[in-house]
Amino acid sequence: MEMLAMRHRFVKVIMAFMLFSSLTTIYAHAEPVNFKDTGKHWAKAQIDEAVQKGYVNGFPDGSFKPDQPVTRAQFVKMIVTALGLDFAPEGSVWYETYVESAKNAGIYQSQDFDAKKMNENIVRQHMAWLAVRAADDTLHTVESSGITKEAEINRWPLTATNNKITRSDAFMRKYYEGFLVHQAFGRGILNGFGGNVIDLDRTTTRAQAVTVIERILSLREGKKLVSDKYATAEAELLWLKTNAFTMAPHIFDDPKGVSMRIGYKLENLVFQNATLHSEVKRIILIDLDDAKDPYRKLLPETNLLGFRDGNFGKMPSDAYAMYIEYETFTNKNPKQYVGEVTLRTQSYKQPSPFPFDKLVQPSVLITKEKGFEHVSSFGPSKGANGVGSGVMVWAIPNSGYSLNENIGSDKNKPDRIISFTFYTSGYYGDPVTNTIFYGTTTHYSK
């Protein structure tokens, strides 16, 4: 009996060891595979790793076909198997079990794309949505993007609802989709194709798919990936109609201060009353000191720029250009409203005596260079009617300036208030004024 009991205990130990081994070596046993078409491929390392882990295979002819498009169904299966999610045996429609598993895990949502069209090739935008949710379990809801159903805009004069707004479900969903794309680039899950080219409608290949999944697994392990700055900025521009938070985070998104992202609202880009309707289309922050900035081509060379009605050749390179694109749709009284959208700020300290030849405060940027007349147009395209599209460009110093000191109980705080208020200029009456950027920063007196 004692021998029999010992044998039972030995069997149990062996079985427990085998079970533990199977749980802790999910990816471990596949032999290296040398595909005939991946030897010099840019994603060879990722492909080999993915095959080793077992969530993707090659083809019977010894190829991997790295540049072959991936369908939605295939990408969903890759994610489900790579993450080790539970799924039922395949049925008559092979992919349904994996779609159900991804849906239960919050990775796939019915609003993403039609579950009946899973055999269509997956585009980068949809891949981004699934990938971010797979990488971070806290980003499965619309509200995880920071948007709320009820909100209050920063407008003067007040609206009929005292600046209170209620957002539609469609608006919130679109905001969430833009957020997910931005997260995909910001976390290094996706990269661009050079400059600001991100091609969200481009079809995904097998090589790109396994590369993305390897990045998802790395993020879930707590690793940090390198992100593509310009691609992230472009994703932000498509999402928020500005790239300021990516291009100059030390000013607009300072972690040591109060980020301007908190109070930033897309609804503040609309300027409307009974007479006028204007909208800011994009606020592009251009780094004048960065020749690789993809939007630097919107302006001539720095030595051909001026500010404060002159100062050509005195524009510092350590500065940004805030390139504001706007459109005035209706203007019932062009004798009152010019139809132009511009900005002002009261945050910057005014030295005494004032150095008119130095950029110590934001100032309208001007140029006399041919081909850039729109930079100094000062009004919409159909000027006489006060309607049409237009551009207003402001120079924002990155150094050589200071902000007004804090007062009262905030006197000794290291971060100081900075704000940018946009308004529709006019000849008389109240302009429509929206505070677009408002927060604090420790970046001053640099």
pLDDT of residue 307: 96
pLDDT of residue 274: 92
| Residue whose entry in the numeric block shows the structure tokens 């109060």 | 258
Buried b (16+ CB within 10 A) or exposed e, 81-97: bbbeeebeeeeeeebbb
Tell me how far apart the alpha carbons of residues 67 and 16 are, in angstroms, rounded to a whole number: 42
The token pair at 343 is: 């900005």
The token pair at 279 is: 């909208």
Per DSSP bridges, beta strands 150-152 and 164-166 are antiparallel
390 phi and psi angles, rounded to 5 deg: -160, 170
pLDDT of residue 446: 65
User: What does the DSSP 8-state code read for residue 335?
Assistant: T
Yes or no: say if 102 and 80 are a contact pair by the CB < 8 Å rule: yes
Instruction: Tell me the HSE value of 89 on the side-chain side, using a 13 A CA sphere.
Output: 2
- Longest Cα–Cα distance of the chain, Å, equals 107
DSSP string, 287-312: ETT-TT-TTGGGS--GGGEEETTB-T
| Helix, strand, coil percent values for the chain (each to nearest 5) | 35, 20, 45
Residue from 290, 291, 288 nearest 306 by CA: 288
pLDDT of residue 376: 79
Write the CB contacts of 391 (distance below 8 Å, at least 6 apart in sequence): 323, 324, 325, 326, 374, 375, 377
Tell me how far apart the alpha carbons of residues 297 and 288 are, in angstroms, rounded to a whole number: 10
Quote the Cα angle for 305-306-308, to 5°: 155
Write the CB contacts of 406 (distance below 8 Å, at least 6 apart in sequence): 412, 413, 416, 417
- The whole-model pTM stands at 0.91
Q: How far is CA 254 from CA 236, 416, 435, 442, in A?
A: 17, 11, 18, 7
Tell me how far apart the alpha carbons of residues 309 and 394 are, in angstroms, rounded to a whole number: 12
Amino acid in position 185? F
Tell me how far apart the alpha carbons of residues 297 and 311 are, in angstroms, rounded to a whole number: 21
Q: Give pLDDT tens digits along the chain (446 positions).
A: 444 444 444 444 344 333 333 333 344 445 567 899 999 999 999 999 999 999 999 999 999 999 999 999 999 999 999 999 999 999 999 999 999 999 999 999 999 999 999 999 999 999 999 999 999 999 999 999 999 999 999 999 999 899 999 999 999 999 999 999 999 999 999 999 999 999 999 999 999 999 999 999 999 999 999 999 999 999 999 999 999 999 999 999 999 999 999 999 999 999 999 999 999 999 999 999 999 999 999 999 999 999 998 999 999 999 999 999 999 999 999 999 999 999 999 899 999 999 999 999 999 999 999 999 988 778 898 888 999 999 999 999 999 999 999 999 999 999 999 999 999 988 898 899 999 999 999 999 76
Q: Residues, the chain, total?
A: 446
pLDDT of residue 24: 32
- Rounded to a whole number, what is the distance in angstroms from the first to the last CA of the chain? 84
| Residue whose entry in the numeric block shows the structure tokens 């909100």 | 151
pLDDT of residue 32: 62
- For residue 152, the cross-strand partners are 164
Amino acid in position 353? P
In angstroms, how far is CA 45 from the centroid of its own chain?
28
